[in-house]
A = this chain, B = another copy of it.
């Protein structure tokens, strides 16, 4: 980025055009092309492709679209649609989040590549919002329970200063974005179509709201329609962007499970929210916990705790309500238990009932009286309800 500042406006424009071309000319994740661009640089790669002087695997990836794509036209189309183009050479690029995808860190992922560029709609700076981000994903056909929980996680994570990353789909995704928005927090939607395409159509207002408070992002050129396989390809970006991925509801086989898998392979913690075992919507979450792939989480505070430097957010013990008798000595509690089973009792009877020596019972009873658990009666002792 220091380099970016030193570049002439013309060089910048050339880089943007080259990247716009590269991101469009092959269907992501175009691994041969991504490797070729990393080796040769964007502008040299474009030249080589146009002259058909790239390695065969690269030429195969670009063959179908090579003659059709113009970086200049794409930049104009993006501009008209209110999109800007982020590129690895420029500002705002979430290089840290994409380190594994880019191959900077070794991961066992055969099928990924860093995006060649990202089209972005919205105000927030992507690199900045990526600094503290959590993916929240799940089923489209979510239950009311799932949507409620996703909205709670979205809200509470945003309130804790985390960016909520998801895919803008119906169900869990939408609820997570809405939760973040309702907390006045930041949220990022990665789309499986152009960042200017309102998909799903029913989420066009939601997508506008996300762009207002965060960003809508896509590696697909403006106007690209969604395709099934693009959702899976897109999922790797959600997985990479979050420091952890929370799966709220997921069937046995689902896009969310795919995102979780990728997050896992990228070395990011996967967290799964449990639900009723009678619900098909939670089968995937339970299965991830059972296999050890995911850690069970029940609320956003547990996610925050997991992602916080040690000592910053001390573990909250899940403590039950304390009872009035908690502070009593076990013997005193035994005497009190026995007492509550009777209307009135002599100390000898109490000793027999609870099996403690009479002397001990006689020592304990006045203590119970002082603490308000017992009172003296004509027949001996009676319990005081606590």
What chain B residues lie within 8 Å of A337 (beta carbons)?
A: 227-229
- Asked if B278 and A148 sit within 8 Å, CB to CB, the answer is yes
The answer to whether A274 has its CB under 8 Å from any CB of chain B is yes
Q: How far is the CA of A298 from the CA of B274 in the complex (A)?
A: 10
Which of B30, B297, B318, B355 is in CB contact (< 8 Å) with A283?
Answer: B318
Tell whether, in the assembled complex, residue B277 and residue A277 are in contact, meaning their CB atoms are under 8 Å apart.
Answer: no
Interface string of A21-41 (1 = CB under 8 A from B): 000001100100000000000
Q: Mark interface residues in A345-380 (1 if CB within 8 Å of B CB, else 0).
A: 000000111111110110000000000000000000
Bound: A382/B317 CA distance, A = 59
Considering only residues 137-158 of chain A, those with a C-beta below 8 Å from chain B are 145, 148-149
Query: How extensive is the interface on chain A, given as a class?
Result: 35 or more
In the complex, the answer to whether A229 meets B64 with C-beta atoms within 8 Å is no
> Which B residues are CB-close (under 8 A) to A299?
277
Query: Which residue of chain B lies nearest to A342 when distances are taken between CB atoms in the complex?
Result: B225
Q: Say yes or no: A355-B65 contact (C-beta < 8 A), given A276-B275, A277-B298, A290-B295.
A: yes
With a cutoff of 8 Å between Cβ atoms, the chain B residues found around residue A297 in the complex are 290
Contacts A26-B355, A61-B355, A295-B290 known; A277 to B278 CB distance under 8 Å?
A: no
Contact A358 B283 (CB under 8 A): no
Nearest-neighbour CB distance to chain B for A72, whole angstroms, equals: 19
Whole-angstrom distance from the CB of A321 to the nearest CB of chain B?
A: 7
Residues of A259-308 whose CB lies within 8 A of B: 273-278, 282-283, 286-287, 289-290, 295-299, 302
Q: Which of A60, A63, A251, A298 has the most CB of B within 10 A?
A: A298
Q: How far is the CA of A346 from the CA of B355 in the complex (A)?
A: 90
User: Within 8 Å of chain B (Cβ to Cβ): is A252?
Assistant: yes
Known A227-B353, A227-B354, A228-B333; further 11 A-B contacts with Cβ < 8 A? A60-B360, A63-B351, A63-B357, A64-B358, A65-B355, A148-B278, A225-B341, A252-B319, A283-B318, A290-B298, A290-B302
26 sample A-B contacts, Cβ–Cβ < 8 Å, listed by A number: A60-B360, A64-B352, A64-B355, A64-B356, A64-B357, A64-B358, A65-B355, A68-B352, A145-B276, A145-B278, A148-B278, A225-B341, A228-B333, A228-B337, A228-B340, A229-B333, A253-B320, A273-B277, A274-B282, A274-B286, A274-B289, A274-B296, A277-B299, A286-B298, A290-B297, A290-B298
Return the 7 tightest CB-CB contacts between A and B, nearest first: A27-B355, A253-B320, A274-B274, A252-B320, A64-B351, A277-B298, A63-B357
